Amino acid sequence: MSLSHSLGALLLLASLAPAQSSSLCVAVSDNAFYDTGISMGGPLLLAIQLQTTTPLNATRLEVWTGEYTGTSSVGIWTHDPATNLPGVNLGTGQWNMGQVNGWQGARLPAAVAVPAGTYWFVWGNPGGGQASVEIGGTPNSPAPGAQLYRASFDGGQSWNGGATGFRSHLWKLRVRCGGNPGSYEVYGGNCRGVGAYRPILGFSDAPTLGRTMEVNLVGAPPSTAAYLALGDSAQTWLGLALPLDLSPFGAAPCTLLCSANAFLPVQTTNGTAGVGLFVPIDPSLLGAPFFNQWWVANPTATALGFVFSNGGRGVVGN
C-alpha cells in the first residue's frame, strides 16, 4: 500500500539557495528485485569493481539492503592495476542501516572526483544484512553481468580473492553525481505490542526535490490503523523534551522520538504498510531536516492504545 503526500510546509524551511540537482550517474540493477537467500557476512568491506568511460563527480552511494541494524558505510576507492586490488579510499559516508529492505546509503562528506577507468565501490557492512544482490551465482556459474568483487576483514589492509578476485553475483548499486543529495536513516528503538508484534520503520531512497521516497512499516498487526508522524524536531514537541518516555501516558515501555506536526493515516495489510513522501520542487526546502515515527493502533497492548516504531530522520536534497 503506497500513498503520495507532499511534505510542503510540514518541513522546516532551510532557506538555502538553489543548487544544481544530482543525477543517477551509475545504476546497476536499479530495481526492487533481489536474491532473498544471500546475506552478508562480516563485519567486512565488500569491494565491487566498476569501470567508467567518463569522469564522475560522485556525491552519494547506495546499496539495496536491510534485515539488520548498525552503522554501515559506502565509499569510492581507486584501482591498483599492479595488484588488481582496491588502492586508496577517496571518500566514505556512513548511515544507520534500517531493517526493512530498500535502497539505503549515504552522502559522501565531499564530492569525489572519479577519473575515467577502473574504480571500486566499497560497502562497509556490519554483518548479517541482506546482500545487495539481484541474481546470485557461483564461480563456476556466474550470474549474467556479474561484477568482480573482493572482501576485506581488516579495514582494507588486505583483500581476499587472490590475483583474479571473485565473479559470481550480479550486485545492485547506485551512484549519484553532482548536486547536494538528501539523506535518510533510522534511529532510536521501538516497543512490542500484543504477541510478537513490534512495529519497525523502514525506508527506500532519500528525500529529493521533485521525487518520492518510501517510508515503510513492518511488524504491525494485520488490518489495523497506523499513522506516520511527520515532524520538524527530535528535541521538543508541545513543550515536552524528546525523546519522551511514554510510560506515564499509559504506553510503557514506548518512547516518543519526534514531533508530530501532522499524521499520514494508512491501514496495514498483513502487518505492513507504506507511505510515499513526495518532495515538491521548492528550492527553499533544500537542506530541510524532518523526522518520522509510526504510531500503530493496538488498544490491547497499552492503555494509550498505540505502540510506536523506531524513528527516521531525513534531510532534503536535490
The whole-angstrom separation of Cα 204 and Cα 50 is 23
Instruction: Kindly state the average pLDDT of the residues 239-254.
Output: 94
Q: What is the pLDDT of residue 192?
A: 76
Query: Is 92:74 a contact under the CB 8 Å cutoff?
Result: yes
Residue 148: predicted pLDDT: 98
CB burial of residue 2 (10 Å; 0-12, 13-18, 19+): exposed
Q: What is the pLDDT of residue 21?
A: 86
Dihedral through CA 80, CA 81, CA 86, CA 92, nearest 10?
Answer: 60
User: Residue 42: its pLDDT value, please?
Assistant: 87
- Residue 63's DSSP bridge partners are 104
pLDDT reading at 1 higher than 60:
no
Give the residue extent of every domain in the chain: 4-14+180-315, 22-177
Q: Does position 7 have pLDDT exceeding 90, yes or no? A: no
Mean pLDDT, to the nearest integer, of 245-273?
95
Give the pLDDT confidence of 154-181 residue by residue, as tens digits: 999 999 999 999 999 999 999 999 999 9
Residue 248 DSSP SS3:
helix
User: What fold characterizes domain 4-14+180-315?
Assistant: Immunoglobulin-like (2.60.40)
Distances (CA, A) of 175 to 23, 39, 246, 263: 8, 22, 40, 32
Average pLDDT over residues 230-238: 97
152-181 b/e (C-beta count within 10 Å ≥ 16 → b): beeebeebebeeebbebbbbbbbbbbbbbb
Q: Does domain 22-177 have CATH number 2.60.120?
A: yes
Q: What is the mean pLDDT of residues 51-71?
A: 97
> In this structure, what is the dihedral angle of CA atoms 114, 115, 119, 123, given to the nearest 10 degrees?
0
Predicted pLDDT at 194: 65
Q: Which residues contact 44 (CB under 8 A, 6 or more apart)?
A: 124, 125, 127, 151, 152, 153
Q: Please, which residues have CB within 8 angstroms of residue 3's CB and are 6 or more apart in sequence?
A: 264, 266, 274, 275, 276
Calculate the CA 318 to chain-centre distance. Answer: 16
Rounded CA-CA distance 112/105 in Å is 15
Q: What's the pLDDT score for residue 197?
A: 84
217-237 average pLDDT score: 96
pLDDT in tens, 110-161: 999 999 999 999 999 999 899 999 999 999 999 999 999 999 999 999 999 9
| Per-residue pLDDT tens over the stretch 184-210 | 999 999 987 766 689 999 999 999 999
Scan for cell 510478537, then name that residue.
196
Cell for 22? 544530482
Q: What angle do CA 4, 9, 14 make, to 5 degrees?
A: 115
Q: How confident is the model at residue 86 (pLDDT cuts 50, 70, 90)?
A: very high
Give the pLDDT score at 285.
95
User: Mean pLDDT, the chain, as a whole number?
Assistant: 92
